[in-house]
Structure 1
Amino acid sequence: MSKQAVELYFRKFGKPEQPTLCLLHGLFGSANNWMGIVKYLQDDFHIITPDLRNHGRSPHHDGMDYTLMAGDLLELFDGLGINGVNLLGHSMGGKVAMWLALQQPERIEKLVVADIAPVAYEHGFDNVFEGLCGLPLDKIQHREEADRLLAGWVAEKGVRQYLLQNLVKQQQGWSWRFNLDVLRKAISHLTGFPEPGRRIFAGEALFIHGEKSDYIRDSYREIMGQLFPHYRQRMLHGAGHWLYAEQPQLFAQAVKGFL
């Protein structure tokens, strides 16, 4: 294993003889986020759901950028003897998927990117980080109290529930599964996207976006077409940024139909 790579925690579903599909979660997420989608796809695919570095049950590491995360995945695929894989990534996971497809196009069969583009975004995570760092973990008695306190920084209950999935209670008290300090330091890298140079992914790519989300804009289509010349685009009605959770059946149908 590369000195820079970490050994990712992952789960497997479906039958090994089926085409392999790797699902990549977003910032502050984990493999568990995909369970509502796995049930629709596991009969047709050999599914791998890793926790990306500094998330979930995967190791913490001071390094946090898309090149490192793509390298972790290559180590995982090599360890499992997987040469060709379909990639599906949401948000940050979508950027990992795109970067890996640009770096190692021969390893990627098809690419699905959920509600993100290969561009730099202005990040609005200051309140989230302030709230997470401001929670007095040594004094919290229960998860409901954490939710009430976090509401002072994060108004949307659904976002708070998503974040608090990472709050775990152990013998020594409450702690975060994700590496909060490193994620905060790396946020400008994570909301950005590396300079691709002349690289392209000439395979088939599908960009799915939510009707209520503004993460995919008309102005991004030029760069999407330059990097992924055979891409197509699909909008899910009634869905926002968390489209796989808001419209799981429609999302899974779109993925399955494309793959």
Structure 2
Amino acid sequence: MEILHSKILGEGQPFLILHGFLGMSDNWKTLGTEYAEKGYQVHLIDQRNHGKSFHSPDFDYQLLAEDVVRYMNHHHIPSAIVLGHSMGGKTAMQLATSEPDRVSKLIVADIAPKFYPPHHDFIFNGLSHLDFDQIASRREADEELSKYIKDFGIRAFLLKNLYWVEQGKLGFRFNFEVLRNKMDEIGDNISATAVYEGPTLFLRGDRSEYIMPTDASDIKKHFPNAQIETIDRAGHWLHAENPEQFFEKSMAFLNS
């Protein structure tokens, strides 16, 4: 079985970080370095069909959680702090509820234990118009994508996935076709009976609608020892939009 690709920073207590949908481990390099400086061994992990990890036609949260267990076994990690953002947060919740002994503390960034209807159509529409037989540079890719996606931040996030497949030919690291066809699985919820009783922190962006006040009871049902904190001046990419407060609140939780 294939092992997830990762970048490992620092020495100390293992701390796994799982990126969001269409993201990659590099998105967490800055914060990962800060956690490593506080005495953690930080594992920035690419989930399947993302970054430099393997591509597979199979994609659901049970499989994503099993990938992390296999990764932990490979690296001889009995248990770890696990932080997941968005899709990675769902993977982290699935892991914590199905393998609670492997997760010492859980941090979930801007995602709730509920079903999210598919809402990335405009992104896939834009990406599908990128013809890499015609596009020869990142600037050209950005110009084409800007016709469909106006938000510069979203475009920059997506274009981080570009790499040179061969000389003169760009491509995406993520598995475009599989991810486009698995939109329902990406919005999926953890099991209705899933519970993790370990210490848990949910962080939400004050400008994001992914975690609403009405989600608190659901969060407490699945994660009875959860606390919910808000990151100011931040939307869904809260770790990039207010990294200082994200770091401060997550460290307060880890030190408590």
Is the counterpart of residue 12 in structure 1 residue 8 in structure 2? yes
In the TM superposition, what whole-angstrom CA distance separates every residue of 1:142-171 from its partner, at most 9, and x where no partner exists?
111111111121110000010011111222
Matches of 1:40 and 1:249, distance apart in 2: 10
2:189 paired residue among 173, 190, 193:
193
Matches of 1:198 and 1:132, distance apart in 2: 37
Matches of 2:61 and 2:168, distance apart in 1: 33
Provide the aligned length of Structure 1 versus Structure 2.
Answer: 252
- TM-score, normalising length: structure 2: 0.96
Is the counterpart of residue 107 in structure 1 residue 102 in structure 2? yes
Is the counterpart of residue 64 in structure 1 residue 41 in structure 2? no
- Once the two structures are TM-superposed, the CA of residue 63 in structure 1 deviates from its matched residue by 0.4
- Once the two structures are TM-superposed, the CA of residue 123 in structure 1 deviates from its matched residue by 2.3
- Paired residues of 1:215 and 1:241 also in contact (CA < 8 A): yes
Is the counterpart of residue 221 in structure 1 residue 216 in structure 2? yes
- Paired residues of 2:29 and 2:44 also in contact (CA < 8 A): no
Matches of 1:217 and 1:236, distance apart in 2: 13
Matches of 2:234 and 2:121, distance apart in 1: 25
Secondary structure at 2:111 match in 1:
coil
Identity %: 36
Paired letter, 2:160: Q
- Once the two structures are TM-superposed, the CA of residue 122 in structure 1 deviates from its matched residue by 2.1
Is the counterpart of residue 30 in structure 1 residue 35 in structure 2? no
- TM-score, normalising length: structure 1: 0.95
Matches of 1:152 and 1:192, distance apart in 2: 30
Structural RMSD (CA): 1.1
- Paired residues of 1:131 and 1:154 also in contact (CA < 8 A): yes
Q: Which residue of 1 aligns with 2:178?
A: 182
- Paired residues of 2:57 and 2:178 also in contact (CA < 8 A): yes
Unpaired runs of 5+ in structure 1? none
Matches of 2:168 and 2:47, distance apart in 1: 25
Aligned ranges 1:43-82 → 2 under 5 Å = 43=37, 44-82=39-77
- Paired residues of 1:36 and 1:245 also in contact (CA < 8 A): no
Unpaired runs of 5+ in structure 2? none
Aligned ranges 1:143-158 → 2 under 5 Å = 143-158=138-153
Matches of 2:73 and 2:217, distance apart in 1: 33
Paired letter, 2:3: E
Secondary structure at 1:239 match in 2:
coil
Secondary structure at 1:214 match in 2:
coil
- Paired residues of 2:9 and 2:33 also in contact (CA < 8 A): no
Paired letter, 1:159: I
